[in-house]
Amino acid sequence: MTITEVKGFGRQKGHTELYRGAEYVIDLLPKIKVEIAVSSEQVEIAVEAIAKSANTGNIGDGKIFISNLEKVIRIRTGEVDQDAI
């Protein structure tokens, strides 16, 4: 699992702020990006857990993207695929 502080926008767009009498449009909002690699058997369990935890019912709750991993290699041990997850 990797958690990264990022900036972006979705449907909520940005907002304006006033600084020293000038108005600035802030297009990118602070977000959290979570990346998780799980076996295909655990995908639905992970999706349900993330959706339940992240859902506030408000714009900006986020999205879940599901991708296939072509190959996984643990650099330290040389383990591959399922053993490396």
**Distance between CA 54 and CA 63 in Å, rounded?**
9
| Domains in the chain, number | 1
* Residue reference for tokens 């909520």: 12
Question: Would the pLDDT of 14 be above 70?
Answer: no
User: And the tokens for 46?
Assistant: 């992970």
Average pLDDT over all residues of the chain: 89
Give the per-residue pLDDT at 43.
96
> Domain range for residue 62?
2-84
The pLDDT tens digits of the residues spanning 35-47 come to: 999 999 999 999 9
Compute the residue count for the chain: 85
Q: What is the mean pLDDT of residues 23-38?
A: 86
The domain that holds 59 is classified in CATH as 3.30.70.120
**Distance between CA 62 and CA 9 in Å, rounded?**
10
**Distance between CA 72 and CA 47 in Å, rounded?**
20
The answer to whether the predicted template modeling score (pTM) of the entire model surpasses 0.75 is no
The pLDDT tens digits of the residues spanning 45-60 come to: 999 999 999 999 988 8
The phi-psi region of residue 20 (left if phi > 0; otherwise alpha if psi is between -120 and 50; otherwise beta) is: left
